Amino acid sequence: MIRDTNKWLIFQHRFQQIIQLSDDTIGQNRLVYSPNWVAAQTALIQFGQQIGLTAMVDNYGNVYLDLPGKDDRVIATGSHIDTVINGGKYDGLYGVLGGLQAVDELKERFGTPQHTLRLISFSEEEGSRFKATFSGSKYYALHQSVKDLTDSEGVSFEHARSTAVSHLQSLNDVIVKRPVIPDSFTELHIEQGPRLVTSHDQIGLVSGIVGQRRYTITVQGQSNHAGTTPMNNRHDALQTAVILIAALERRAHELSDSLTFTVGQLTVTPNVSNVIPGTVHFTVDIRHADDSVLNHFEQIINERLTQVADPLTKVTAKRYVKDLPATFDSTLLSQNQQLAEQLGLSARVMVSGAGHDSYVMSQVSPTTMIFVPSEGGISHAPNELTHPADLKAGINLLMASLHAQAY
Ligand SMILES: [Zn+2]
């Protein structure tokens, strides 16, 4: 168990080695295929090889560390190595190094497993460098590739990928391979929300991931002079947008307590202090575990657009994201529930409001996730924090789960 001080020091040492790569930046910066990213995946490969795991790297730079078992079945765990710009220490990395820790300790205590144990460090999940998310797990699980993207400096995905990946693939004893899909996948991750901290639970057992939809709403009014246009003769796009946003927010609240509604982006044209706004674009992001609730709210949006008071102001909505909710494996969930109880950990079942590699993995393999608390519900920020006791609790539960599945 990681209660063992020596084991905990090894985990901390590995963790610090990766964290130190971002010493000269605000927060953590391991954007996919960047020098820090290459250094982190390289260090991980070495950590794995030092304890006798077989290292594989595929053409997207996903790293796989296998502890070969006695048969062909594969029990996998892992998360993503990349971060957002100026990100926190735990998002992604905790699941990668926590997974390695679990495999390391199981190997030491129980030797060769019945089924192969695999730690996966996905290349990219956050979409922070290129406008593509989950490109690592999508390449592995769905054989999807990224097409024609460049980063903010004009570097193409292809160029960045081939340079970084060839470095990893040329490391000593690394096998160039995209291995078979595992028979199960468990992802350890910080919650990135306040629910566990609020309920004083140590563990979140994730039953699925919310579905999400995003829309761009365009309000087309008429620009005009702010001083000479009478108030009763205006087609002010921003005033219409404000009324609309307030009405939609109220309707979302009425429809379901767990429906999230966010207007995160708003652009006003011409955006000049003495001109009546002629055009407004804003985004709407809605998420819920039940797709029928999202369907219902989409209807509400479409109805509400036709009820704008000013007949000369036109409002249109365009949906650009429609991700169905994911339901995770119920057998793995109830197994983890029992194991948490045996370990004396307080756990609650919850739906994740954020996307994860597990969303992709659940489309090809029975999948589950284990959450640990994020202090203050903060994530994607330098002050992201999970306390050592919670980090240990998550790793211990993951270890118990992998043991139950693979031995
Ligand atoms: Zn993450």
Cα of 218 from ligand 1 centre, angstroms: 32
Cα of 389 from ligand 1 centre, angstroms: 20
Cα of 188 from ligand 1 centre, angstroms: 10
Give the contacts of 377 (CB within 8 A, at least 6 positions apart).
191, 192, 193, 194, 195, 197
pLDDT in tens, 186-239: 999 999 999 999 999 999 999 999 999 999 999 999 999 999 999 999 999 999
The number of angstroms, rounded, from the C-alpha of 229 to the middle of its chain's C-alpha atoms is 48
User: Residue 2: its pLDDT value, please?
Assistant: 56
Cα of 322 from ligand 1 centre, angstroms: 20
Q: Does domain 211-323 have CATH number 3.30.70.360?
A: yes
User: Residue 70: its pLDDT value, please?
Assistant: 98
User: Residue 133: its pLDDT value, please?
Assistant: 85
pLDDT in tens, 323-381: 899 999 999 999 999 999 999 999 999 999 989 999 999 999 999 999 999 999 999 99
Among the listed residues 104, 121, 151, the one whose alpha carbon sits nearest the alpha carbon of residue 40: 121
Cα of 191 from ligand 1 centre, angstroms: 9
Pairing state between β 203-209 and 347-352: parallel
Cα of 338 from ligand 1 centre, angstroms: 25
Q: For 79, left (φ over 0), alpha (ψ -120 to 50), or beta?
A: beta
Cα of 231 from ligand 1 centre, angstroms: 49
Do the beta carbons of residue 177 and residue 171 sit within 8 Å? no
Among the listed residues 346, 355, 363, the one whose alpha carbon sits nearest the alpha carbon of residue 379: 355
Among the listed residues 52, 33, 155, 151, the one whose alpha carbon sits nearest the alpha carbon of residue 103: 52
DSSP assignment string, 246-299:
HHHHHHHHHH-TT-EEE---EEEES--TTEE--EEEEEEEEEES-HHHHHHHHH
Look up the pTM and report it. Answer: 0.88
Cα of 352 from ligand 1 centre, angstroms: 11
Give the contacts of 208 (CB within 8 A, at least 6 positions apart).
289, 325, 326, 327, 328, 351, 352
Measured in degrees and rounded to the nearest 5, phi and psi for residue 367 equal -130, 145
Cα of 284 from ligand 1 centre, angstroms: 23
pLDDT in tens, 383-395: 999 999 999 999 9
Rounded CA separation 115/118 (Å)? 10
Of 3.40.630.10, 3.40.50.300, 3.40.50.150, 3.40.309.10, the CATH number of 5-209+325-406 is 3.40.630.10
Cα of 125 from ligand 1 centre, angstroms: 7
Cα of 65 from ligand 1 centre, angstroms: 19
Confirm whether 5-209+325-406 and 211-323 share one CATH topology: no
User: Residue 1: its pLDDT value, please?
Assistant: 56
Cα of 91 from ligand 1 centre, angstroms: 5
pLDDT in tens, 78-88: 999 999 999 99
131: helix, coil or strand? Answer: coil
Structure-token pair, residue 353: 């409001």
143: helix, coil or strand? Answer: coil
Cα of 266 from ligand 1 centre, angstroms: 26
Cα of 88 from ligand 1 centre, angstroms: 10
CA distances 29 to 46, 121, 134, 188, Å, are 21, 16, 17, 20
- Domain boundaries defined on the chain: 5-209+325-406, 211-323
Cα of 189 from ligand 1 centre, angstroms: 7
